[in-house]
A and B are shown apart, each in its own frame.
Chain A
Amino acid sequence: MVSAFSSSASLPLGRDPARGYLLGVTGFLVLLLTLTALTAIYLEDVAGGWRRSVAAQATLLLPPEASARDQARTVDALLDALRNARGIVAADVLSREKTAALLSPWLGDSAEDPSLPLPLLVAIHLDPEAIDWPALRRTVAGIAPTAQLDDHSDWVGRLLSFAGWLQGMAGAMALLVVLCSIGTVIFITRAGLAVHREPIEMLHLMGAEDRFVARQFEQRVGEPLLLGSLAGVLLALVLLALVALALRPSTGSGLFGPLPAPPLMALLVPFLLPVLTTAVGRMTAYWTVLRTLARLP
């Protein structure tokens, strides 16, 4: 007797051990996919923010001078020149307290010692489209030859390069996970075809087209794919929430301030991934069955 269906015109894949396996593997792969996708999207967003923020900022560092009066005169001249330069929106000297706070990670409490000679820092806000860097550098060098004008490009370039590398790794991993998912569905579908060879042959003898059989497999993988991917996404969100919670105290201060809110695309991922995973998995199963059956006599 043919061992076959669990419901009307459906193959009994729901009773296969492979169903649980597909559910588990899908959950794990979608967990990885969600983590990598969200990481890549978040990094892209954060890096974009850095790029935009840094492009509109520069720092002028004036080494401490022996005479406070000379230094004040130099600073006044620099501020005057900066405020009249094209593309400069604002230029403000950072207070000694703020400078000390910025240096405290390296100098500790001694940064607040009033006898410690600290450089003067001028925070410059600029319009990246209008700024003329060579002219600005010439102006600054003419007033204070020892001053260093830092447009942050070198430092941010390295940071962006690292972020890009991380994004590339995340993308490669996401691709690998997608390929693994497709491979798993192909493997399970082929195994299902082998297990259900007899009922499939019987269906053919009754006049079923390959598409009819393919649809049974497509429908049967749909449920574990959806449930598995929902579980994977949920677990990933829980993990990310825990990570965000753990990182919160240390990211509230520092060079970049608190981490920005997740971008819209990141919010869509938990909804899109289960749908896409299920759709791709179902299509994979459908075409795997058609291709396999087409090779049969």
Chain B
Amino acid sequence: MIRFDQVSFGYDRGPLVLEGVTLHVEPGSFHFVVGASGAGKTSLLRLLYLGAKPTAGRVVLAGRDVARLSRRERAHLRRRIGVVFQDYRLFENLTVFENVALPLRIAGETEEEVRDKANELLSWVGLAEALDSYPPSLSGGEQQRVAVARAVITNPDLLIADEPTGNLDDRMAERLLRLFDELHRVGTTVLIATHNEQLVRRLGHPQLRVGDGQVVAEGPHGPPPFAD
């Protein structure tokens, strides 16, 4: 699913955040992205969701060298990637329903499909009563759930989440992780950036540890928690 060949990345003329990273992530795998603050986790994720171009090296996603893609091909590849941003990045002038429905509308789904899928997913994340609310009127946790629903509504091949459980209570965090696990089971490649060492240990998935400009793959801590 993901391959980095000697990838370096830095902002403008600043020092390189990632330097000569070589990485391979199998399709359908589940990884935590861990590392200290400022280590380069967000930079790694940006490269993965095509939010930035590498300073050097080659990024291959779904078998495609992203540097060789046309703008149209990049757009279509991005539709296969769901992203949960740490700051949610919801459209505050759109209702909850419209925020969640937007990726489907961009993909050209029919209004009927959009309505069905968005309603179902919003019910699942416990926001069925908030369809017509606007994000500024929601709590941080509710906004985070909207962001998650928006990221997964297209059943993406690659799901990238940056601290997705940060503002959730234990019960909702558990439900969310189950959702990620279900997506993983049906073949979605999942990458979750987190500081939550307890979560990482509990779920036991392999990690990509970011630090000193490098990304190192580490083995799982234990069996998947939702194996049954």
CB within 8 Å of B: which residues of A?
1-6, 8-9, 12, 15, 199, 201-210, 212, 293-294, 297
Contacts and interface: CB of A to CB of B under 8 A. Distances in A.
Nearest to B50: A205
Contact of A202 (B71, B75, B79, B89): B89
A12 B106 contact: no
Interface string B135-159: 1100000010000000000000000
Contact of A206 (B53, B87, B102, B135): B102
Nearest to B77: A207
Interface residues of B, number: 31
A11 to B, nearest CB: 9
B75 A207 contact: yes
Residue of A6, A9, A207, A212 most packed against chain B (CB within 10 A)? A207
Given A206-B103, A207-B107, A210-B71, A1 B93 contact: no
B71 A294 contact: yes
A6 B93 contact: yes
B79 A207 contact: yes
Contacts of B90: 1-2
B175 to A, nearest CB: 23
A103 to B, nearest CB: 75
Given A203-B106, A206-B79, A5 B72 contact: no
A1 B89 contact: yes
Nearest to A207: B79
A193 to B, nearest CB: 15
Interface string B82-109: 0100011111111000100111011100
A212 B71 CA distance: 13
B135 A207 contact: no
Given A204-B75, A205-B50, A294-B71, A1 B102 contact: no
Contacts of A4: 91-94
B201 interface: no
A237 B210 CA distance: 70
B202 interface: no
Nearest to A201: B51
A1 B135 contact: yes
A97 to B, nearest CB: 79
Contacts of B103: 206-207
Contacts of B101: 8
Contacts of B77: 207
